[in-house]
Amino acid sequence: MAKKAKAGKPKRRGSSVGFVIFLEFILGLIVGVFAFGYAYRYMSMDTDDAIDEKRFSANELLEQAQSNLMGSDIDAVVRSKDDTANSVTFYNLKNDTATTVTATKSTKFPRGVNINTLQPGDIVTYVFDEGMKLAEVKSCPNEWIIEDKGVAISTSSKLVKFTDASSTNADKSFKYVDGLTSVRYKDEIKELASISPYDYVSIHGYDDGKSNKVYKIDILKSHGELHINNAAHVNDMHVFVSDRMCSLNDNNSLYLTEGVYPVRITGSNTKDLIKTANIVPGSPYEIDLSQVVLKQGLITLKSNVKDYKIFIDGEEYPYGQSILMPYGMHKLRAVKGEYFDVVSDIYVTGENNPVELKFKKIKEVGTIKIKASPKEAEIFINDVSVGKEKAEQTLELGTYIVTCSCDGYKTAAKKVNLSVDKQTVNIEFKLDSDGSVKTEEESKSSNE
C-alpha cells in the first residue's frame, strides 16, 4: 500500500497583509511629519519682505493654519480698518498673515479702546471666532513703548535710530517694516522721512524674543524754528533757551521741539533781552534786535589844552561835559585852532570811560571855512567828515581835498592849498537838484 505523501505547510496570507499595513503607516507618518514641519516653518517665518495680499488668499495651507487659530490669542498690528463694514484687517506678527475680522456689539475691548479708536500701527492681541467675528481685543504683552526725541530715520537700512539729541536712548536703533510701520501726527498720516530729531515721539515696537521691530511712531510734539533778525546789533551775542546756550546756524536760526520756551539774548553792548517764544510747526518765531536796548557808559575827557571842539561819530558835543554813549567802538575827533586834530577810536565798555587827549601845536596854520547847501549836505576834508552845512577847520599848511555830498545831489569836490601862515580860505558849495554844482572860493591872508 502506497504511503501518503506528507502535505506541505500552508502559506500565511495574514502576515503579508500586516506588513503592508505597517509600511503604509510608516510612509503616512513620514509625510505627516514633513507636512507639519513645512507648515510650522512657514507660520513661524519672520521676514521683512513687503506684504503680498495674493500670497495670503491663495495659500490653502495657511488658510487651514489660520482656521486653527480661531479662539486663540494672536499678537498683531492693525493694518487697515473699514469703518463702513466695521471691520479690521490685522497683520499676524507670528506667521506673516493678514486676517480681516468684523467687530460686533459683543466684541470686548480694553478700557478706553473701541473699534473707532483703533488706528493703523496699533499693536494688540486679538481673538476671533469661527464666523470671522472679532471676539476680543487685548493689550499686547510683547509691546514696548519709548518716548523721547532725537530720532532719525535711515531709509537705506530701514532703521529708526536715536541720535545724540536723545535724552537716554542715544545709539539705540530698531528695524521698521515698509508698508506696515505707520507715522501719525495729530490724526494725520505722515511719511517716515518727515520725522526730525527735534520731534518728540512715542515709538511702539514688538519684541517676542525673536523679532524686535517698530510698527508705530506717534509724533507727540513736532518742531519749529526760532529766527533772530538784525543780529549784527548785538556784539558777542549768545542765545540761551531754557538757560541752555544754543548755537545758531548760518541763517541765525535754530530748530526747537514745539512748545513755549524762555529765551535770553546777551551781548557785550546790550542789556539782556528776555522773550517767551511759542514754537509752532511751519511758522518761525522771530526776535528782532534792531531796537534792542544798548548799554551806555560815560566818556570823560582830559586834555593838555582847553576850549576845544569835540566830535564823536561826526556829531559835536559840548566842551567840558561827560558824554553818555552806547557800548562799543566810536570815532572821536578833537579840534582846536593852531593844534593838530586829535583823531582816535574809543571803546565804551563800562559805566565810566576816561579818555586823555594830547594836542600838538602847529607852527604855521591856515583855516578853511565851508558853507554848503542844502543844509543836509555833509562836508569832508580829505575824506574826514567835519560837519553839515557849515564847517571851519584850522589846519597845518598843505593841500587838502574838500568834498560836499548829499543824497539826491551830485557830489562836489575842490582842492584847497593852504600855503601862507594865518591864511583863510572860504568855500561855498551849492548843490542843485538838477545835478549841477556851483562852487565859490575866496582866499585871504592875514598879511593882506
Q: Evaluate whether residue 161 is within a structural domain.
A: yes
41 domain residue, yes or no: no
> Is the residue at 344 inside a domain?
yes
Statement to judge: residues 173 and 184 lie in one domain: yes
Tell me how far apart the alpha carbons of residues 415 and 2 are, in angstroms, rounded to a whole number: 173
Domain closes at, from 170, 189, 221: 221
pLDDT of residue 130: 83
pTM here is 0.58
**SS3 of residue 435 by DSSP:** coil
Q: What does the pLDDT average to over 257-273?
A: 94
386 has a pLDDT exceeding 70:
yes
Residue 40 included in any domain: no
DSSP 384-432: EEEEESEEEEEEESEEEEEEEE-TTS--EEEEEEE-STTEEEEEEEEE-
Q: Which helix (H) or strand (E) holds 60?
A: helix 60-68
The pLDDT of residue 6 is above 90: no
Question: Is 389 found in the same domain as 329?
Answer: no
Question: Both 284 and 322 in a single domain?
Answer: no
> Who wins on pLDDT, 67 or 141?
141
109 and 71 inside one domain: yes
Do 184 and 203 share a structural domain? yes
257's grid cell: 521741539
Cα distances (angstroms) measured from residue 323 to each of 18, 233, 287, 316, 326: 124, 21, 31, 11, 10
Residue 320 within a domain = yes
Last residue of a domain, one of 357, 382, 403: 357
Is residue 275 within 8 Å of 215, Cβ to Cβ? no
Residue finishing a domain among 191, 221, 251: 221
The reply to whether 232 and 251 lie within a common domain is yes
pLDDT in tens, 221-248: 999 999 999 999 999 999 999 999 999 9
| Residue 107 counted as domain residue | yes
Q: How many domains are there within the chain?
A: 5
Q: In the predicted model, is pLDDT for residue 441 greater than 80? A: no
Q: Are 234 and 270 in contact (CB under 8 A)?
A: yes
- In this structure, are 248 and 318 located in the same domain? no
Average pLDDT across the chain, whole number: 86
Residue 402, in any domain of the structure: yes
pLDDT at 42: 47
Least confident segment among 64-78, 250-264, 394-408? 64-78
Give the DSSP per-residue string, 246-265.
E---TTSEEEEESEEEEEEE
> And the C-alpha cell for 386?
567835519
DSSP 162-181: E-TT-SS-TT-EEEE-TTT-
Q: Are residues 204 and 246 in the same domain?
A: no
CATH classification of the domain holding 66: 2.40.50.320
The enclosing domain of 403 has a CATH number of: 2.60.40
DSSP 279-322: EBTTB-EEEE-TTPPBPEEEEEEEESSSS-EEEETTEEE-TTS-
Mean pLDDT of 332-344: 91
Quick: pLDDT tens for 185-231. 998 999 999 999 999 999 999 999 988 999 999 999 999 999 999 99
Residues 316, 256 within the same domain: no
Confidence of residue 4 (pLDDT cuts 50, 70, 90): very low
Whether residue 161 is found in the same domain as residue 174: yes
- For residue 46, what pLDDT is reported? 47
The helix (H) or strand (E) run that includes residue 222 is none
Closest CA to 155 of 177, 171, 172: 177
Query: Residue 96: what pLDDT?
Result: 85
Which range of residues forms the domain containing residue 104? 54-139
pLDDT digits (tens, 9 = 90+) for 49-94: 444 444 444 455 555 555 556 778 999 999 999 999 999 999 999 8
Q: Does the pLDDT of residue 275 top 80, yes or no?
A: yes
Same domain, 247 and 321: no
For residues 417 and 425, what is the distance between their CA atoms, to the nearest angstrom?
Answer: 9
Does a structural domain hold residue 404? yes
